[in-house]
């Protein structure tokens, strides 16, 4: 029998893809796997597969595998302990988000704009893909709240129908988790409309439109494996706390609310999610430290405890109230060198900022309270941009990363208050844009008394 070069290449490609699939099938009973084909792919082309043991809490785990001709396979041993959400990225806009269980073997074919799924456990990923397309096509902007809630209820009903169609094609725990994930994403958007209402009408709008439309999602340990479900529960806790107290949603206040109104494993995971979000957004350090210390004293879930302990221990090693402020010398906007030591005898407000910073108008108003006091406002920008208002702009350039580490800056904007003798007085005080600068103004006054 004669074969042309092209036919031999074709048969070899099919054979290699088949061998990869067989290799995955041989271990499927022991280790779940994802196989795939990238039509038009080439040997050596990377494919990234990422997944989360505890979405919203644990860090992402990523594997990069290389195509053999146009095929790949990836083993996921962590899925042996339960369901995992995963994300496969073959480059060039070819990506897919799915779910895999401990006995699954999923095959994905990327062919242009088309994605084909097959294998044991593919039903869950298929319905997730279908529902995501429904969500991406939904219109939500520029609608009155009543009409918006009616549209959201229709979206929820569509998702419920699609999930019901695939109910018998997947395990019950996978169906329940997908429902919590998809409905949680919609519900999170619904409850966020509370903050968009006139403050005098918020409670009325909530009771009349938002609350009746929210889906019924069980507060179960299983559902806590969805980051979107956790995000929805956190959004709801913030709204519930504010509706109850009419006070600012500080990290410690929301933490105590969750601790009081939730129980068991869900309580631990939701608190961990809340603390990690606060750490990432650069919350007030003393407040976060107290909450994290309390959490670590009673939490039992090892993944959640480790996730919270990591930023907590980093914070403890960083700057804190009473420690000497790290010295620096940076150029201003005109190229002149400015050192922290030049401001000895003055209270210094360090403002780490970016060009889209929304605190500048508020800080300018606060500065007017200290026109006759020894207070200096230093704006430290990630890149050069003109600052309108009172204060001196500094541009660290290549020193910015070192400044971030020295002052434990996780995000911009970040504020730090330094006493007249050069010691840290306050790290990441309350956001002045949320209380018209009241708390920060009081902190600066207190620093002047030191």
Query: For residue 115, what pLDDT is reported?
Result: 92
148: helix, strand or coil: helix
Contact 415, 440 (CB under 8 A): yes
Q: What is the DSSP string of 151-178?
A: HHHHHHHHHHHHHHHTGGGS-HHHHHHH
- Give 117's strand partners: 108
pLDDT exceeding 90 applies to what percent of the chain?
56
pLDDT at 384 over 80: no
Query: For residue 125, what pLDDT is reported?
Result: 95
Could you tell me the two tokens for 106?
A: 């999923």
Residue whose pair of structure tokens reads 């280790």 in the numeric block? 31
> Class of 5-120 per CATH?
mainly beta
Q: Which of 374, 340, 375, 380 is nearest to 360 (CA)?
A: 380
Q: Provide the mean pLDDT of the chain.
A: 86
Q: What is the DSSP string of 229-268?
A: HHHHHHHHHHHHHHHHH-S---HHHHHHHHHHH--HHHHH
Q: Which of 160, 132, 121 is nearest to 34 (CA)?
A: 121
Query: For residue 434, what pLDDT is reported?
Result: 75
The reply to whether omega before 413 is within 30° of 0 (cis) is: yes
pLDDT at 80 over 80: no
Query: For residue 11, what pLDDT is reported?
Result: 37
Helix axis angle, 264-280 to 302-317, nearest 10°: 30
Residue whose pair of structure tokens reads 């403050």 in the numeric block? 199
Q: Which of 31-35, 197-201, 369-373 has the lowest mean pLDDT?
A: 369-373
pLDDT tens digits for range 272-307: 999 999 887 767 778 898 999 999 999 999 999 999
Mean pLDDT of 83-93: 91
Mean pLDDT of 307-323: 85
pLDDT at 106 over 80: yes
Give the confidence band of 17 by pLDDT, cuts at 50, 70, 90: very low
Q: What are phi and psi of 382, to 5 degrees?
A: -65, -30
Query: For residue 2, what pLDDT is reported?
Result: 33
pLDDT tens digits for range 255-280: 999 999 999 999 999 999 999 998 87
Q: Which of 103, 96, 108, 58 is nearest to 82 (CA)?
A: 103
Q: Which helix (H) or strand (E) holds 375?
A: strand 375-381
Q: Which of 209, 218, 205, 257 is nearest to 234 (CA)?
A: 257
CATH architecture of 329-448: 3-Layer(aba) Sandwich (3.40)
Q: Cα–Cα distance between 21 and 9 in angstroms, integer?
A: 18
Q: Could you give the residue ranges of the DSSP H alpha helices within 282-368?
A: 285-298, 302-317, 360-367
Helix axis angle, 227-245 to 172-192, nearest 10°: 40
Mean pLDDT of 12-33: 51
Mean pLDDT of 144-169: 93
User: SS3 helix, strand, coil % of the chain, rounded to 5?
Assistant: 50, 20, 30
Q: Which of 346, 385, 379, 348 is nearest to 362 (CA)?
A: 379
At CB < 8 A and 24+ separation, what contacts does 357-360 make? 357/412, 357/413, 358/413, 358/433, 359/413, 359/415, 359/431, 359/432, 359/433, 360/387, 360/388, 360/389
Domain ranges of the chain: 5-120, 329-448
More confidently predicted of 157 and 403: 157
Residue whose pair of structure tokens reads 């108008």 in the numeric block? 361
């Amino acid at each position: 029998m004669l074969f042309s070069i092209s036919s031999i290449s074709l048969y070899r490609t099919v054979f290699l893809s088949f061998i990869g699939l067989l290799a995955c099938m041989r271990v499927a009973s022991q280790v779940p796997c994802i196989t795939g084909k990238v039509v038009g792919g080439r040997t050596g082309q990377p494919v990234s597969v990422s997944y989360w043991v505890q979405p919203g809490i644990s860090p992402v785990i990523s594997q990069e595998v290389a195509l053999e001709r146009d095929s790949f396979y990836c083993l996921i041993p962590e899925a042996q302990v339960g369901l995992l959400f995963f994300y496969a990225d073959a480059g060039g806009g070819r990506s897919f988000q799915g779910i895999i269980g401990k006995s699954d073997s999923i095959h994905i074919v990327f062919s242009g704009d088309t994605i084909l799924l097959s294998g044991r456990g593919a039903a869950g990923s298929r319905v997730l893909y279908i529902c995501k397309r429904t969500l991406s096509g939904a219109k939500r902007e520029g609608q009155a709240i009543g009409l918006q809630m009616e549209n959201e209820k229709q979206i929820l009903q569509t998702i419920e129908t699609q999930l019901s169609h695939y109910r018998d094609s997947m395990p019950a725990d996978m169906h329940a988790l997908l429902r919590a994930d998809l409905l949680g994403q919609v519900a999170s958007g619904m409850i966020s409309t509370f903050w968009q209402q006139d403050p005098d009408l918020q409670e009325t709008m909530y009771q009349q439109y938002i609350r009746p439309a929210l889906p019924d999602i069980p507060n179960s340990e299983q559902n806590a494996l969805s980051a979107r479900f956790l995000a929805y529960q956190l959004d709801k806790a913030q709204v519930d706390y504010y509706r109850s107290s009419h006070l600012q949603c500080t990290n410690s206040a929301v933490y105590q609310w969750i601790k009081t109104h939730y129980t068991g494993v869900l309580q631990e995971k939701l608190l961990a999610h809340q603390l990690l979000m606060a750490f990432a957004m650069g919350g007030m350090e003393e407040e976060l430290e107290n909450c994290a210390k309390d959490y670590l004293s009673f939490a039992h879930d090892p993944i959640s405890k480790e996730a919270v302990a990591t930023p907590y221990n980093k914070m403890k090693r960083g700057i804190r109230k009473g420690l000497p402020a790290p010295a620096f010398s940076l150029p201003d906007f005109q190229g002149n060198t400015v050192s922290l030591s030049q401001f000895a005898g003055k209270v210094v407000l360090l403002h780490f900022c970016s060009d889209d910073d929304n605190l500048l108008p508020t800080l300018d108003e606060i500065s007017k309270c200290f026109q006759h006091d020894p207070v200096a406002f230093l704006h430290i920008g990630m890149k050069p941009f003109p600052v309108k208002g009172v204060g001196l702009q500094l541009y660290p350039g290549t020193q910015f990363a070192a400044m971030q580490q020295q002052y434990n800056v996780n995000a911009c904007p970040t504020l730090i208050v330094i006493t007249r003798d050069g010691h840290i007085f306050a790290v990441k005080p309350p956001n002045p844009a949320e209380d018209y600068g009241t708390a920060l103004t009081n902190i600066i006054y207190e620093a002047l008394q030191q």
